[in-house]
Structure 1
């Protein structure tokens, strides 16, 4: 019973199935991709969506999805009552001995890799509709830290049940995501006893600048930070196209509490010593190491900006999670790696046309602009083409992003003829 429909119930991160979103969910797929690309990821395995589906086909649970279809999400009491009943049903279901033994066998192999006969693990939900470029389910499904062997199966069932919280059901309904196509895998990951941990954004999520890495750090586990329980240290790091790095902003947070693992499982919250509150959790050396690694990870995702969770233990850096940043407006093609600021004007907005352009419309406008450049006899130095390689000596004034056409007006604004409006005065914080 290790497989169903030729899809395994459990996979390791180095296996082919481990990168398939429909089998291991968003979190599991991202971890497997990073692991297979050689980044330092804690040892882990994934209980696949096929195991989840196998459990849902049980007599006790097979009617769950039909119940959800009839819920009125605006009726809070009904939503919470149905959610509670479903979660209780899944949490109390009896798994087959074959499935339990399969999971425990993989856990034992995880212990062997870690040279520890009874390691703590993180049990993380990994849904097929989370950690995607167009949706963010962050925080909706459960994660359990410092889980012991004896509690492993119970925590896995609780992760499955978290797919049916009132919040998750309501979010899917409002986002028009069919409950029947969303499945849940569970990542079982070696627990790193973090000395310092936090998050890193490979682009500035506020301004949208792609040449900045934003790092927040705190003592202990990152749970205190991502749950908003602590004011972390905050760093803004500038990286130019030559990969020169400069730490431009340092704000030392109070870090009033920190969370650590307990010897008998689970976590506990401690008050941070007054002296440590005033000390940076990360040295400059580790800030730069983390910023460089963050940009390497972004590059491996074809420059898709990433939201990373990380941890330092014994001077070793681990990546715990990676997900796309979903709030940034796309930048034009061939703009990655440019460290100089550019000012782009929306061609459509000037015309009062705010909707995305069709490919035919964009091609027509480029053709008209090209004719205009020839009339002005500047077509040899200026181009409307996106592909810089077609003629790298030309100034490419037309950019395409999010199916909209943009005109690069940086040269105009920085020209000596318009010194009264230098580009340096533009507030880049406006995004």
Structure 2
């Protein structure tokens, strides 16, 4: 009832933030049932009680028709049992962010939402990024698009830096193009469960993030994930100490209709030619 009441207030700029805040405050008072608390902490101890990532996974999040990218909370480098429980509660509360409620209302999703929380061993990534196993801008399925940055991947998904962009042709896994971005900072795990911002030197800011061989290694992993799920994937990956990790995979939600078979075929009937730059800058 509280969610539906908040959703009904989406057109009221004063009522929506107030209703959403009341819902988040209510979640903040939740006490973990003893059996749930014991189960969570038991698994945390089984992971070694070290740093973990605490990630939200809501119903309908990044399904074929919707995308909640960046709306529900994810926390990196969470250390300690009390901090873990608090961050799980914070993930639950993120179901009732102003933007989340407004987006659900715009999609006519009026059912009470449900959110799971995933706790993963923290990958202290020195390089990370995202990868689409299809070109999300054209729908071309014969290429992969990889974006890469230094440090934790939050800088890419949140638009804090301009990442490198690598285009890989699936035919023979060939590196088709490289655009090196300029990165002024990186995020790294800090002491006591913190995440710290480090400014980069001019040399590091302008340096390429991945070698040709590493780009192909990331692309190979992307193809395996796509084959596993049987459809194009939007993934997050990371390198840590030379080892490649797949952090997350979900369906690509931006294709919106029949996909082009290849980049050459991806010529819309209206609008600018494929490949035209419409604007430049960092994502909001």
Do these two structures clear the TM 0.5 threshold for a shared fold by scoring above it? yes
User: Which residue of 211, 226, 234 maps to 1:298?
Assistant: 226
User: 2: distance between equivalents of 1:179 and 1:428?
Assistant: 39
In structure 2, the CA distance between the partners of 1:266 and 1:282, relative to structure 1 (3 Å rule), is: same
Cα 1:96/1:176, change in 2 over 3 Å? same
Change in CA separation of 1:340 and 1:308 when aligned onto 2, cut-off 3 Å: closer
Q: Cα gap change, 1:66/1:225 in structure 2, threshold over 3 Å: closer, same or farther?
A: closer
Give the alignment of 1:271-350 within 5 angstroms: 271-302=199-230, 304-331=231-258, 341-342=264-265
1:129 and 2:60 are equivalent in the alignment: yes
Gaps of 5+ in 2: 277-284
Query: SS at the partner of 2:125?
Result: coil
Change (3 A) 1:343 1:171: closer
| 1:164 aligned residue | 96
Which residue in the other structure is 2:175 paired with? Answer: 247
Cα deviation 1:6-60 (Å, max 9, x = unaligned): xxxxxxxxxxxxxxxxxxxxxxxxxxxxxxxxxxxxxxxxxxxxxxxxxxxxxxx
Q: Secondary structure at the match of 1:248?
A: strand
> How far apart in 1 are the matches of 2:221 and 2:128?
15
Residues 174, 340 of structure 1: alpha-carbon distance in 2 compared, 3 angstrom cutoff? closer
**Is contact 1:172-1:179 (8 Å) kept?**
no
**Deviation of the 1:64 alpha carbon:** 3.3
The whole-number CA distance in structure 2 between the counterparts of 1:308 and 1:93 is 32
Distance 1:344 1:315, change over 3 A: closer
Q: How far apart are 1:160 and its partner, in Å?
A: 0.5
Task: Give the Å deviation of 1:309.
Answer: 0.5
Range that drifts further, 76-85 or 88-97: 88-97
Aligned with 1:215 (options 131, 146, 150)? 146
Mapped to 2, the partners of 1:266 and 1:322 lie a distance apart of: 25
Structure 1 counterpart SS, 2:14: helix
Q: 1:272 to 1:65 in 2, by over 3 A?
A: same
When Rg is computed on C-alpha atoms for both structures, the one with the higher figure is 1
With a CA cutoff of 8 Å and minimum separation of 6, indicate the structure with the bigger relative contact order.
Answer: 2
Alpha-carbon distance in structure 2 between the residues aligned to 1:121 and 1:160: 17
Q: Which has the higher helix share?
A: 1
State the alpha-carbon separation in 2 of the partners of residues 247 and 191 from structure 1. 30
TM-score by length of 2: 0.89
Aligned pairs for 1:104-143 within 5 A: 104-111=41-48, 118-143=49-74
RMSD: 2.4
Q: 1:80 to 1:325 in 2, by over 3 A?
A: same
CA distance in 1, matches of 2:129, 2:266: 33
Q: Provide closer, same or farther for how the CA distance between residues 340 and 105 of structure 1 changes in structure 2, counting only shifts above 3 A.
A: closer
Is 1:197 the counterpart of 2:148 in the alignment?
no
What secondary structure sits across from 1:146 in the alignment?
Answer: strand
Aligned residues, how many? 274
Calculate the TM-score normalised by the size of structure 1: 0.60
* Deviation for aligned residue 1:428: 4.8
Instruction: Give 1:245 deviation, angstroms.
Output: 2.0
**Where does residue 280 of structure 2 map in the other structure?**
none
Tell me the distance in 1 between the aligned counterparts of 2:74 and 2:243. 23
1:100 aligns with 2:28: no
